[in-house]
Amino acid sequence: MNCISAKNLSKSYGSVRAVNEINLSVKSGQVFGFLGPNGAGKSTAIKLLTTLIPPSKGSLSILGVDAIKNPLDVRHKIGVVLQQPSYEPTLSVEKSLEKYGMMWDVPKAERIKRMEQLIQDFDLGEIRKKRNEDLSIGQRRRVQVAREFMHDMDLLFLDEPTVGLDPSTRRKLLDYLKNKVSTGLTIFYTTHVLTEAEYLCDEIAIIDKGKILTVASPDSLKTKFGKEKTIKIHIITKEDEISHVLSGIKDCKIDFNSGTNITIHSHESELVLLQVLKALNENEIEIEDLSAVPTNLEEIFLKMVEDNASNH
């Protein structure tokens, strides 16, 4: 079952179309990644999907509810953590969690139980009595995400949830989210950290200039768009004649930082490599190091955005 179905969803501000006829189908019980550069339309799309703003046109169903006609029914079933910091400055961490549970009408005994579990899960024990205004940015962010789990929800929107977190805390949060998804929660996840998307997301949509460029799993994105491999060759001595030796070979680049580096980036990297090795061997130029770098999600993302920009 799809928990999000958007058809031709658009939002215009005057003559500017921030979201341009996007179509999305998000299956239940997965992490759906939503990636795009700044100004791509991500924030507007999330405001539409969380019923904070109405669309200019199109249809939207969230958890089987018509989100345009019945936005309040949708809000009772979802959780939302936006990019903007949201906290009660003078409340302690534990009071903040408890208050959130009260707002969602969670019974007192259950509230206390959930609060204690979240304090443990999010490593908040040492700061539980601290006021929110005395916390670091990363600590506030942890509290902001933890707080959302005080209530039951079927769908959680997380907009850049790991901002300010150190690598260890970030990985703990990602693993916590993975575990929650295994129990049936669906997560709609935006991030600028592409290694996060690769680690966490089952499917990824890339948006740019208000349009969805592609929707696929990280692995299929790599298979489809990751045919270009990068091969790096390092030579210790600065060999000025290398430029001349390799002048007829396409798709390889030379720079002279810390010796000589040759970078091959091509759909046919292996063939180009054979040509380079042959030319170096014939000219008796020794190789110090050779490495192949697999295509990652970041390269695919940047390439798609660049291609989209050059098509406009």
Identify whether residues 142 and 268 lie together within a single domain: no
Would 301 be classed as within a structural domain?
no
pLDDT of residue 220: 82
**Overall average pLDDT of the 266-286 stretch:** 80
- The residue among 186 and 287 whose pLDDT is bigger is 186
pLDDT of residue 87: 80
What is the band of 118 on the pLDDT scale with cuts at 50, 70, 90?
Answer: very high
Task: Please identify, among 218, 245, 280, the residue that sits at the C-terminal boundary of a domain.
Answer: 218
Q: Is the pTM of this model over 0.75?
A: yes
Q: Do 36 and 204 meet the contact criterion of CB atoms below 8 Å apart?
A: no
Dist CA 246 CA 111 (whole Å): 69
**Residue of 235, 269, 232, 225 whose CA lies nearest to 251:** 269
> Reading across the β-sheet that carries 203-208, which strands appear in turn?
78-81, 155-159, 186-190, 31-35, 203-208, 211-216
Identify whether residues 285 and 188 lie together within a single domain: no
Identify whether residues 99 and 244 lie together within a single domain: no
pLDDT of residue 229: 66
Q: Do 72 and 35 meet the contact criterion of CB atoms below 8 Å apart?
A: no
Identify whether residues 102 and 251 lie together within a single domain: no
**Boundaries of domain holding 260:** 228-294
The values of phi and psi at residue 122, to 5°, are -105, 15
Instruction: Estimate to the nearest angstrom the gap between the alpha carbon of 214 and the chain centroid.
Output: 14
Identify whether residues 175 and 249 lie together within a single domain: no
**Residue of 64, 142, 143 whose CA lies nearest to 98:** 143
pLDDT of residue 125: 94
**Overall average pLDDT of the 231-255 stretch:** 75
Would the pLDDT of 302 be above 80? no
Would 87 be classed as within a structural domain?
yes
Contacts of 84 (CB under 8 A, 6+ apart): none
Instruction: HSE, CB side, 13 Å, CA atoms: give it for residue 140.
Output: 19
pLDDT of residue 244: 75
Dist CA 158 CA 83 (whole Å): 8
| Axis crossing angle, helix 93-103 with helix 137-148, rounded to the nearest 10 | 30
Q: What are the tens digits of pLDDT across the range 138-147?
A: 999 999 999 9
Identify whether residues 72 and 158 lie together within a single domain: yes
Would 303 be classed as within a structural domain?
no
Share of the chain above pLDDT 70, in %: 93
Task: Please identify, among 200, 218, 236, the residue that sits at the C-terminal boundary of a domain.
Answer: 218
Identify whether residues 28 and 156 lie together within a single domain: yes
Q: What is the CATH number of the domain that holds 280?
A: 3.30.70.250
- The residue among 303 and 99 whose pLDDT is bigger is 99
Q: What is the CATH number of the domain that holds 36?
A: 3.40.50.300
Q: Do 205 and 16 meet the contact criterion of CB atoms below 8 Å apart?
A: no
**Cβ atoms within 10 Å of 72's Cβ, excluding its own:** 8
Share of the chain above pLDDT 90, in %: 53
Task: State how many domains the chain has.
Answer: 2
Identify whether residues 103 and 20 lie together within a single domain: yes
**Overall average pLDDT of the 264-271 stretch:** 72
pLDDT of residue 238: 60
pLDDT of residue 312: 64
For residue 128, the 8-state DSSP code is: T
Identify whether residues 7 and 69 lie together within a single domain: yes
**Overall average pLDDT of the 161-165 stretch:** 87
- The residue among 255 and 132 whose pLDDT is bigger is 132
Identify whether residues 8 and 156 lie together within a single domain: yes
Average pLDDT in the chain: 87
Identify whether residues 136 and 242 lie together within a single domain: no
**Overall average pLDDT of the 238-255 stretch:** 74
Would 244 be classed as within a structural domain?
yes
Q: What are the tens digits of pLDDT across the range 53-81?
A: 999 999 999 999 999 999 999 999 999 99
Identify whether residues 198 and 274 lie together within a single domain: no
